[in-house]
Amino acid sequence: MIRALILGGTADASLLAAEIARAGIEAVYSYGGRTRAPADQPLPTRIGGFGGVSGLADYIRREGITHVIDATHPFAAEMSRNAAAACADNRTPLIALERAPWTKTPGDDWIEAVDVNAAVAALPEAPARVFLAIGRQHIAPFAMKPQHIYTLRFVDPPESPLPFAADVIVSRGPFTLDGELEMMRTRGIAWIVARNSGGDGARAKLEAARMLGLPVIMISRPQLPERLRVESVAEIMQWLGHSARLGA
């Protein structure tokens, strides 16, 4: 009998939840609690941290979880590390649904940055209009270059003062090419900072940058632990189906 835990919070995780609900597989969907009103899911849903590796391992045992699916965002590295450790402790089958990184195509003007600090260093000294498409949690280092005119994009309105003067767009995506072009043109954006999230939900900004000939500082993904990893919902369903046939 399968009882799956989906570590969610992305568009792909929502697609997976719909498939799992349709297949009538017992599962729980989990959000970290980062946003005020996360999208509803067609599965029983929990919101908030587990309390580190031990908290997650206890949850798995207490809730009789038989399979864990890590469908978190590629930058949710701590959650992924904790899931790998907790599943190893409990010997619980774990699989990751991880979309491929975006890759540079002809016409893209990308500057690779290994982390946020490298992205700050990659910005010019001369004042420029910069769009930071990296959310809310990791913007503090840009206070090192206050000379720029920053546009930020958050899911929810800011609750505390910003570490530097900036204009905030409140929008949760997914984003459209027309919307991104309009925003960049009306704000005279000259630089874009993005994280290599992959997927379709936030790709439009890259297409808009290419069409406008704008440079993109692309922050590469953090190292994630070794674990079974697939890129499609179908492969997750096969993995679950396989387990079901084995009577796991």
Q: How far is the CB of 153 from ligand 3Y8 (least distance, A)?
A: 4
Q: Which stretch binds ligand 3Y8 (CB under 6 A): 8-16, 54-62, 111-119, 224-232?
A: 8-16
> In the set 34, 46, 210, 221, which binds ligand 3Y8 (CB under 6 A)?
34
Q: How far is the CB of 236 from ligand NAP (least distance, A)?
A: 15
Q: Supply 112's token pair.
A: 């690779």
Residues 142-171, interacting with ligand 3Y8 (CB under 6 A): 153-156
The residue to which tokens 């500057």 are assigned: 111
The residue to which tokens 């297949």 are assigned: 23
Residues 86-145, interacting with ligand NAP (CB under 6 A): 135
Beta bridge partners of 229: 96
- Told to check if 31 binds ligand NAP by CB under 6 A, we report yes
Q: Supply 24's token pair.
A: 């009538």
- Told to check if 84 binds ligand NAP by CB under 6 A, we report no
Give the dihedral sign, CA 105/202/194/129.
positive
Q: Contact letters (x/-) for ligand 3Y8, 189-218, by CB under 6 A?
A: ------x-x-x-xx--x-------------
Beta bridge partners of 67: 4
Residue 50 phi, psi (nearest 5): -95, -20
Specify burial of residue 181 (Cβ count, 10 A radius: 0-12, 13-18, 19+): middle
**Three-state DSSP class for residue 240:** helix
Please, which residue, 51 or 174, has the CB nearer to ligand NAP?
51
Residues contributing to the site for ligand NAP (CB under 6 A): 7-10, 30-32, 34, 49-52, 55-56, 72-73, 75-79, 82, 135
